[in-house]
Each structure stands twice: as structure tokens, then as C-alpha cells.
Amino acid sequence: MMAVTTPELKGVLKFDEPMSRHTSWRVGGPADHYYEPADIEDLANYLRQLPEQEPVMMIGLGSNLLVRDRGIRGSVICPAGLLDGFEIQNGKVLRVEAGVPCAIVAKRCAKEGFTGLEFLAGIPGTVGGALAMNAGAFGGETWPLVKKVETLDRHGVFHLRDADEYLVGYRSVIGPEAGKLQEWFVAAHFVLEKGDGEKSLKRIKTLLAERSKKQPMGVPSCGSVFRNPKGDHAARLIEACGLKGFRVGNAQVSEKHANFIINLGEASAADIEKLILLVAERVRQEHGVSLESEVRIVGDG
């Protein structure tokens, strides 16, 4: 791995960067190019100078992401912690950039006396990632509170789009760029509701305490692996198959929550991917339910 800066760019460009350093599972081979932009304009400049044929991937905190062991060809861009703008406009709209962790949004809004975004405290990713998949937790989802989004396309051109330009479903977001030039979220405009900030902070604390009791904490995982099928829960189906604690190499179905797969320390991406497939197949065989993975699996195996 080598890191460089160039006169044209303000961020840091790394070569052959191990993705195991940037995913919550702590696995993944190297990315050819790994860029950490200084700000939104710097990100746009990076996109503008890329060769037309170079693949581009945007990541956040690396949750819900499995990078295969041979890594990723092309450019990986990570704005987490860098695109960190946070501004409350006219006392009712929050403009927040894509690199801000969801948990920080929840807590800052509560401290400012706003309610409705407490559920974001349970999402282990950034605003950009939450927008991309309509992430949810504790019964709340991202997009019902979105008014507008700002995006950047493959040529580094900015767009301001209304929320109703997107087709949003359960853990699914289809944008107007579908089938056209790729776009990435760089900021969101959330509608805020004034309320009791102290009460919101207490609710966040309670929700996080409940999550800690039910989910494996302090071990590498990606959060929930499978989407809940309509009218049921993936964890219930997996547990009913007797798969709690089941292992492939050093990847294990959590004994605390069956919809979590944890890295016991030396798991490979191949171990985790194989376990995901085995769990889905067992549930299909025993319950006739086809589980859909929430995990984005990328790279060369």
C-alpha cells in the first residue's frame, strides 16, 4: 500500500489498500485505488479525472459490505468522516453530508431538540449508505424523512433531486439515474420535527441498550445479513433450522442473534460468503422461504 497526494487533488490516494481495514467484517482483499476525498468538490474533481473505463465504488463505514479475498479492481472512494457537513436550515430542515455516521445524526438532532431521527442510532453506517439502501432500525426507515438529496454523477456533475424522484421500498432504492450515468449520494435534506430533546436522548439510550442485549456486540459483523421476509423474521427461520453457532471456517452464525454472522478472528471473505449461501439454502429447504441478503458482495473471489 502506498499513499500519495497530487496537486490537482486535496484528498489522499492509496494503492493496493487492504479492504479488511475498511469493512466491519474485517475481511477483504486490496482495492487498486482507494481515495479519501477532502470535501465534496474534491470528490467531484477525483471523479472528473478518472479514466472513463475505470470502475468506481463508493463505501461508507463498510457495514453490510463483503469484499472478496482478491479485492476490488478500479477505484474505491470512502467519504466516511470526511464529507461531514451538518447544518440545520430555517429551523426545520437538516442538511447532512454523506460521510456522517447515522448514530451521530441521531444524537446531534436530539441535542438540538428535534425528534423523529432517533432510529438512526441503530444503523451502523453513514448517511450515504442509509440513503442507498433505505436503511432502518427500531421500526424507522430513512427515506420517509428525506425531502431532497444531493448527488454526484460519474463525470463529477452535481444534481439536486427531490425525494419523489426515487422509487423506495424495503431496503431498496431505485433512482432516476437507473440504467443511465451512475450517481452517488453526497448529502441529504431531512425534514425535522421539533420536540423534547431530553426525551429523544433517553429513547436513544434505551434503544441502544435493547440492541446490546439482543445482538452480538464487540465482534466483527455486518449487522443483519438477511432481509426479513414479509410477515416473518429471518432470525426466527434461521434459528428454527438449528443454525445458531453453525460455522464455516472462522465465520459463525451468532449464538446470540441468528441473523448475524460473525468473524471469530481469522475468517476469510470466502468463509462468510459460503456461510451466507448455506444458511439461505437450509432455510429454503426447510421452510420454503427464499431469504434475500442485505449484504453487498463485491470484488474478485
Residue 118 lies in a domain: yes
Query: Which residues of the chain are modeled with pLDDT < 50?
Result: 2
Count up the domains in the chain and report the number: 3
Cα(71)–Cα(27) distance, integer angstroms: 10
- Tell me which residue range forms the domain holding 157: 86-214
Candidates 36, 97, 150, 294; catalytic one? 294
CB proximity list for 76: less than 8 A, separation 6 or greater: 17, 19, 22, 31, 33, 34, 35, 57, 58, 59
C-beta separation of 142 from 125 below 8 A: no
For strands 72-77 and 30-36, give the pairing.
parallel
Residue 38 lies in a domain: yes
Same domain, 210 and 90: yes
Candidates 24, 63, 221, 224; catalytic one? 224
pLDDT in the model for residue 81:
84
Residue 224 annotated in active site: yes
pLDDT in the model for residue 7:
59
Residue 273 annotated in active site: no
Residue 221 annotated in active site: no
Amino acid 231 reads G
pLDDT in the model for residue 185:
95
Q: For position 63, which CATH number holds? A: 3.30.43.10
Q: For position 262, which CATH number holds? A: 3.90.78.10
Candidates 171, 227, 236, 296; catalytic one? 171
pLDDT in the model for residue 101:
94
For strands 167-169 and 158-162, give the pairing.
unpaired
Cα(160)–Cα(163) distance, integer angstroms: 10
Q: Which three cell numbers stand for residue 218?
A: 464487540
Q: Which three cell numbers stand for residue 234?
A: 429471518
90 burial via Cβ count (<10 Å: 0-12, 13-18, 19+): exposed
pLDDT in the model for residue 147:
97
pLDDT in the model for residue 8:
81
